[in-house]
């Protein structure tokens, strides 16, 4: 790819994020996390100059105890011409994954040994599932509606 000026790169980075703009906003959800019923809050916003999207999620069990929290940053890599997700979560873990846009949402491309994460967009909600290698059913399934 030919080198481009700062403004052009910024415009392309923001344009590349457009397929994820449906996530922007505040969401409340319900679902299952490792077999337990959970409620979730998901807050998604453009940050910096809009060339990054930040998604913050917290899941709590029926007693109100936090069972999962993460922050994911999405960006469009102009040089690589691809979407990426950088996820930070408990115990100092971090994952960087390519993101593939699908007709009704997107998925993280994690390879056969990693968790399979798929986001689906419906008319008035979003949902996602996480399938871990070797497990027959999803370890996490959430459905969110805008608040």
Among residues 122, 142, 111, 100, the alpha carbon closest in space to that of 22 is found at: 122
Q: Would you say 115 and 131 are in contact if contact means Cβ atoms under 8 Å apart?
A: yes
What pLDDT, on the 0 to 100 scale, is given for residue 2? 55
Domains and CATH numbers, the chain: 6-146 (2.40.128.20)
Please state, for a pLDDT cut of 70, what percent of the chain lies above it.
98
As a whole number, the mean pLDDT across the chain is 92
17-72 residue pLDDT tens: 999 999 999 999 999 999 999 999 999 999 998 999 999 999 999 999 999 999 99
Query: Which stretches within the chain are classed as H helix?
Result: 6-17
């Amino acid at each position: 790819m030919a080198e481009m000026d700062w403004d052009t790169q910024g415009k392309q980075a923001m344009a590349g994020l457009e397929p994820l703009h449906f996530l922007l906003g505040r969401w409340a959800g319900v679902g299952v996390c490792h077999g337990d019923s959970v409620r979730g809050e998901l807050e998604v916003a453009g940050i910096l100059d809009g060339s990054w999207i930040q998604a913050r999620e917290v899941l709590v069990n029926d007693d109100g105890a936090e069972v999962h929290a993460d922050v994911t940053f999405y960006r469009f890599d102009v040089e690589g011409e691809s979407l990426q997700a950088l996820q930070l979560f408990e115990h100092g873990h971090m994952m960087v994954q390519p993101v593939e846009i699908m007709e009704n949402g997107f998925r993280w491309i994690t390879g056969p040994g990693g968790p399979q994460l798929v986001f689906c967009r419906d008319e008035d909600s979003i949902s996602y599932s996480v399938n871990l290698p070797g497990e027959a059913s999803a370890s996490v399934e959430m459905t969110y509606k805008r608040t």
